[in-house]
């Protein structure tokens, strides 16, 4: 009976993760560039980036699903990891188009802080930061001892 319960738990987590990935893919598909290759930056597109960021954070939280269950049962311990988590949360929720507005097209060679800003110009990097943020968020609420 315990084996069946574990299989069901893992299957549910797998299905939820697959659903999150499919929603992200569908948002990307809906934002595909037109034939002319010009990317429009409008309110709808910014909201789509925001949704993608939230979904990537949710995917990171899903990776730590066992700890989430312990947190939901009331076993919460805050730790210092919350500080970098908040910084990563701000970075991951900031659309990459705002990075263009703040620093222009950042390059590793042309700006002193290019090492920090150049990667943030790519949506895929922001998705990876979002997943990391989700994992760190769960770990900042629960220490595994």
Are the C-beta atoms of 59 and 137 separated by less than 8 Å? no
Alpha carbons 72 and 95: distance in angstroms, whole number: 31
> Tens digits of per-residue pLDDT, 23-65?
998 888 887 754 444 556 677 778 888 899 999 999 999 999 9
Residue 55: other Cβ atoms inside 10 A = 20
pLDDT at position 111: 61
Are the C-beta atoms of 104 and 30 separated by less than 8 Å? no
Alpha carbons 125 and 127: distance in angstroms, whole number: 5
**Mean pLDDT across the stretch 113-130?**
77
**Domains held by the chain: number:** 1
pLDDT at position 12: 94
Q: Considering the entire predicted model, what is its pTM?
A: 0.82
Alpha carbons 55 and 58: distance in angstroms, whole number: 5
Query: Which range marks the domain in which residue 132 is found?
Result: 2-141
> Tens digits of per-residue pLDDT, 84-105?
999 989 888 887 766 666 655 5
32-to-50, 81, 121, 122 alpha-carbon distances in Å: 16, 36, 17, 15
pLDDT at position 36: 47
Alpha carbons 16 and 105: distance in angstroms, whole number: 36
Share above pLDDT 90 across residues of the chain, in percent, rounded to a whole number: 36
């Amino acid at each position: 009976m315990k084996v069946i319960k574990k299989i069901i738990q893992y299957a549910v987590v797998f299905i939820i993760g697959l659903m999150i990935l499919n929603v992200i893919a569908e948002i990307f598909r809906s934002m595909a560039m037109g034939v002319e290759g010009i990317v429009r930056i409008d309110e709808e597109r910014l909201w789509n980036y925001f949704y993608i960021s939230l979904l990537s954070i949710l995917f990171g939280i899903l990776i730590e699903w066992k700890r989430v269950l312990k947190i939901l049962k009331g076993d919460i311990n805050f730790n210092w990891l919350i500080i970098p988590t908040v910084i990563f949360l701000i970075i991951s929720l900031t659309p990459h188009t705002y990075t263009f507005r703040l620093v222009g097209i950042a390059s590793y060679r042309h700006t002193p802080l290019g090492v920090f800003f150049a990667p943030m110009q790519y949506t895929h990097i922001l998705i990876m930061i979002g997943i990391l943020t989700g994992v760190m968020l769960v770990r900042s609420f629960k220490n595994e001892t």
